[in-house]
Structure formats: C-alpha cells, structure tokens
Amino acid sequence: MNLPSRKLFHVPLLLLAVLCLLLSQLAQPVSSRAMGDDDASLVSTATPEGRLAVFEDIWETIEDHYYDPRFNGVDWQAKRNLFRPAAAKASSTHQFYELMRQMIASLRDAHTRVYSPDEKFDWWNPRFVTVGLGVREIEGVPVVVQVDPNSAAARTDVRVGDAIVSVDNLPISEFIERRLENLGAVADERARYRAIASLFDGPPGSSVKVAWTTREGKLRSAVLQRYWTQRQLGFTTQRKGKLAILRIDAFTQSLALDFSKALASALDGAEGVVLDLRGNGGGDAEAMADVASLFLDDGINLGKFADRSGASFELQTYSKRFWRVPQLSQIKLPLVVLTSESTSSAAEIMAAVLQAKRRARVIGTETCGCVLAIRNRHALPDGGLLDVSEFDYRTAAGVRLQDLGVAPDQLTPLTRNDLYSRRDPALEAAKLFLSGS
C-alpha cells in the first residue's frame, strides 16, 4: 500500500499492495540519499564496485527505515554478511538483482521490493515479465487461471483449468521447493502463493519449457518465451438483473473520482451491489478511504498506521470528499465484497472494515495478508528502485492484518471444473445471498 506523503501514509501491499499501494507520489522516486538526475552520475552494476555500492544502499536503507527494528525475526546483519560477497561476484545485472530479491524475500514482506533500472516499475501502470500464463494453486496443484490472448501460449492448446506438471523438465513440486529455498522463504501458504504466482519468472527474451495436463489427463508441453507486458488498472461496472457488479483493480485518486462519477448510472434501479476486489492489489490509502466513504457513515475509523519511531496517524471515512459529485449520496443497498488471495493491502483494509461494521458480507477466499505501507520510493545509485515498508497497520479494533489477512464470511474455493465450465462460485454465492436480502 502506498501512503500519502502528507503527514505519514502507508504502503502497498498496494500492492500490493503496498497497499501492496498508498502514495499518489509512489510513481515519483524519492531517495533519502540524494542523487542527481544526470544518467552520467549513475553507477554501473557491470563492475564489482558498482554492485557493492547498490548493495550497500539497499541494505542500509532497509536497516534505517524498515518498520520493524527486529526485521520480522531476521538477522539483517547476517544477511549482509551472506549476500555481500555473492553480490560482488554476480555475473550480470539480472543475477545481481535476483540475489537482492532473495535477501529481501527473507523478510517475508510483499511490500518491500527492489526493481532493476530496466524494470521501472510503476504501481499505477504495472509492467512485468510473463509467458502469457497466470497460475495459482487450486486443489493442491498449480493451475492455469489466465491465458493472454495475444501470447504464444494462446497459440498452444493450453487452457484455463489445465494443471502445470513441470517447468524446464523439473517436476513441479520439486521446482516449487527450489523456488522457496532460493527465496529464503518459510514454506507457509502465503510463501507458496507467491512462489506459484512467479513460476515462470526470468529475464525477458529467455525461454522456459512448460508441461501441463489437460482436462482429459493428456500431457502437453511447449517452450514459451518471456516478454514484457503492462497491465492497465481501472474499474468496470456491470448489471446482472437487479444487481450491480462493480470491479475495482486498484485505488488511486483519479480512479476513485471516476468510479464515484460512474455509480449513479451503474446503480440506477439496482437492489444489491457486488464489489469485486479479487484482483485488487491495493493502492493509495486515501483513495481507498474515498471509495469506502461511499458505503459507510462519516467518521468511521479505518485503522491506524505507525512507523518504528511510534509516529502514527488514523484514516477515516469522509464522504464530503465527493463534493465534486453532487448527485452522489451514501449507498445503502445490500452489499457483498468478493475477495481472493490476490486481494492485498488497501483492498484488505476496505474488506476488513466493511466486514467489521457489518456493512457487507465477504465471500470468496482469504486475502493476501499483505498490509504494510510505503512512505516514498527510494532511488538506487544505478537507477533502480527500492520500496521499503515503513508503516505497520492495525484495524480500529487493534487487529494486525499483516500475515493474517481477511477471512471471508463465506468460503467459496475455486475448482478446476469451475474453471473449465467458466463458473464463478463466489459470484454465484453473492447473487444468492443478495437475492435473499
């Protein structure tokens, strides 16, 4: 989640989330160690000296600013001693940044992340490397949940619902175990989720051999090339009879305003609302508060953010922020919120508050448990970027959502048959609940 720079704010998870996304300034790198804008002043990770300069900057920034002075139980000095020699010997920029990710992964924190100069990651317009397949664990195995229609993968016979059985000829269970070991991660559910979601990670232009089984149990395989893609964040409104289905990908100030402007027509004649946050990785916490204010009374405490020094601030609903949408008033229709493992950061806060206030029924699966906040992005000496979780979050009741997540009121796990049949059990459950409301 990202916090507004203003008086203190949080996170991704925005991202995811920092809220896993919280700062509208997140896209503007800010460094506690000033560096010039001239590219000529940048160091190069092609040399051992340059790699060590970037390494020390990453390690020291986390040392100085991480929200938890105990580093989630990790001996941070020991990590420096372990990874510094390896960083100096890295054979390429890609290998160097992979080592940095391994070191940071030991913190078990999805918000603290590092990006190489080539990645130029923007929370509001995420750019990432893919093979055209989205994967998550379903019924105990990695399953294809998305196929990019414009990818080489779409030209094979892989289908949503197919199970991945090997990567580069390595059985999938062994591959996942190695991935967890490389990340230095504890093998809990959240670590497995991240490991499976990143099964095909690698440098753009490189290839990976993927094997899968079809619905009929037939074994198939293909060599797929990794490439850059970009996701456009936004929202959609849809009507299913008397139900309004609203999907929000992230929280930004402009998106919150556009969303509020679209509601009058989206809700016209509706008798219930489904708010789909299953793909929402978080964002700007104040933008999330604006959206929450559409469904809650003024002055509702949305929780508290605090850094390691004890400095803190609370977030509240305030519907008067929507004075630019004069036709809009508080939405009192019956409400269901849909969640998944990808619901992160600010989106988790919103789901938790609506659930705690009994304003909405939460349906789906448990959320990410990725609720920390970033104050500013840190520019690295080579032009890379570092996000560091500087704020922890607790609900108004004092519950810490990090590593806990939000448990749905009604659990609706997805199955492979659901995917093959294009069924959405969470949405079906929401419709059934709202029809009784």
- Which pLDDT tens digit goes with each residue over 328-345? 677 999 999 999 999 999
d(CA 348, CA 340): 10
Please state, as a whole number, how many other Cβ atoms lie within 10 Å of the Cβ of residue 348: 34
Q: Mind listing the pLDDT tens digit of every residue in the chain (437 residues)?
A: 766 433 333 333 333 333 333 333 333 333 333 334 445 578 999 999 999 999 999 999 999 999 999 999 999 999 999 999 999 999 999 999 999 999 999 998 989 999 999 887 677 777 889 999 999 999 999 999 999 998 999 999 999 999 999 999 999 999 999 888 776 655 577 788 888 988 998 889 999 999 999 999 999 999 999 999 988 889 999 999 999 999 999 999 999 999 998 998 999 999 999 999 999 999 999 999 999 999 999 999 999 999 999 999 999 998 665 545 555 677 999 999 999 999 999 999 999 999 999 999 999 999 999 999 998 899 999 999 999 999 999 999 999 999 999 999 999 999 999 999 999 999 999 999 999 86
> Counting Cβ atoms within 10 Å, is residue 403 exposed (0-12), middle (13-18) or buried (19+)?
middle
Using alpha carbons, select from 175, 127, 148 the residue that is nearest to residue 27. Answer: 127
Domains and CATH numbers, the chain: 127-230 (2.30.42.10), 235-303+310-373+392-436 (3.90.226.10)
Count of CB atoms situated within 10 Å of the CB of 158 = 22
Helices and strands: H and E segment counts in the chain: 10, 21
Q: What per-residue confidence (pLDDT) applies to 295?
A: 94
> Which is nearest to 371 in space by CA: 353, 390, 346, 388?
346
Residue type, 66: Y
pLDDT at position 59 is 98
Cα–Cα distance for residue pair 313/302, rounded to 1 Å: 11
- What pLDDT does residue 183 have? 64
Q: Are strands 389-394 and 335-339 parallel, antiparallel or unpaired?
A: unpaired
Q: Read off the amino acid at residue 386.
A: L
* Model pLDDT, residue 195: 87
CA angle at residue 251 from 247 to 256, to 5 degrees?
A: 80
User: Phi/psi of residue 83, each to 5°?
Assistant: -90, -20
